Structures are given as structure tokens and as C-alpha cells.
Amino acid sequence: MNESRRFDLLSDLARLIKKHGIDAFAELANYLSHPEAIEHLITIIEGTFKAGQSASIDKDRGAQGAGRGTGVKRLIDDLEKSDPQKAEIISAFYHTLLAKNALPSIKEMRDFSIDTGLKPVHAKSRDKAIFPLLKDIAARPLNEVKDIIGRISLRGIGDDRTLEGWAKVILNKEHRQR
């Protein structure tokens, strides 16, 4: 545990002392002076840690499963801080996926991930595959992101599969069919 986390923990304890009173902490200290109480406390802390890990994993799975959840929002928010251009591309691509204007089936998503060297799509439904696909693409350098997304054929906007076609979609410009 680093110094900052120790300080935060001590600050939290100070707030608890203020909330529960000094007498409650004196009683707790007396209780903890017995070896069986320490073992009981360790069991509680370990159980809390494991429950917290499980809840975190379930939360992440839920966000991935929804494909529309906080996982995607958090991914895009984080990208906006570090690489706004990539965030804009990923966000536009996400909305294109939601509208099913790109990769409209789970089979197409699986084939695309294999063809472009992305991580294989293991999800059983298209919605559950969106977050892992976006996460994998977003982890790559900007030029690779542009290249990967530029390979996707878009439905409903003609045959323009070029990066320029994507740029028009991303920038919400009118796209002229050829």
C-alpha cells in the first residue's frame, strides 16, 4: 500500500470516528485484542475483498454484454482525455454498429475480427460482441484504428468503403452515392 492510500484510509477512519464516536472505537479496540476476533476480522475482510472482485467482474461483463452500457461510455470518455481524434472515430463507429450500418450480424463481426487480426469474437450475440470489439480496436494506434475501420463496408450509404467515406459518416456530412 502506498503512502497516499494509507493517508486516504486514515482519513476514512477519522470520519468513522467522528460518525460513530470514540467510545465505539475503544470497544472495537478491546474486542480486537482477542486472537479469535482478529481471525474473524480477517475472514470478514477477505470475504469483502472477494465479493468486491466478483461484483467488479460481473459489472464489467454486464457492460460488455449490453454493448451499450457504461463500458463503452467509459472507454470513449477515457479516449477523449488521451486521444480525442480516436475517441471521435470509435464513437462514430459505435453508433454505426448500433444502427447496424456496419457488421450487422455476429457472423460478420467474427469474420471481420479474423480478417483484420483483431481478437476473435467469442460472444454469442452481436450486442455482446460490440464492447470487446471496440475495446480491441481502441487499444491500437490511431493509424491502425483508421485502417481497421476503413476496411468495413457500410450499409445504406453506397459502395464507398474508403476512409473518406467513413470521415463523411463521422463528420455527419452528406454522402453522395456514386
pLDDT 10s digits, 122-170 = 999 999 999 999 999 999 999 999 988 888 866 544 444 455 555 655 5
At 117-128, the pLDDT tens digits run 999 999 999 999
Instruction: Name 31's Cβ contacts closer than 8 Å, sequence gap at least 6.
Output: 37
Write the CA distances from 102 to 3, 107, 152, 157, 178, integer angstroms: 48, 12, 7, 10, 19
Over the chain, what is the mean pLDDT? 77
pLDDT for 155: 54
Name the residue type at position 115.
D
Q: Mean of the pLDDT values across residues 91-107?
A: 88
pLDDT for 69: 54
* For the chain, domain boundaries: 3-66, 70-170
What are phi and psi for residue 104, nearest 5 degrees? -70, -5
C-alpha of 22 from chain center: 41
Quick check: 139 and 75 in contact, CB under 8 A? no
pLDDT above 90 as % of the chain = 25
Q: Mean of the pLDDT values across residues 13-34?
A: 83
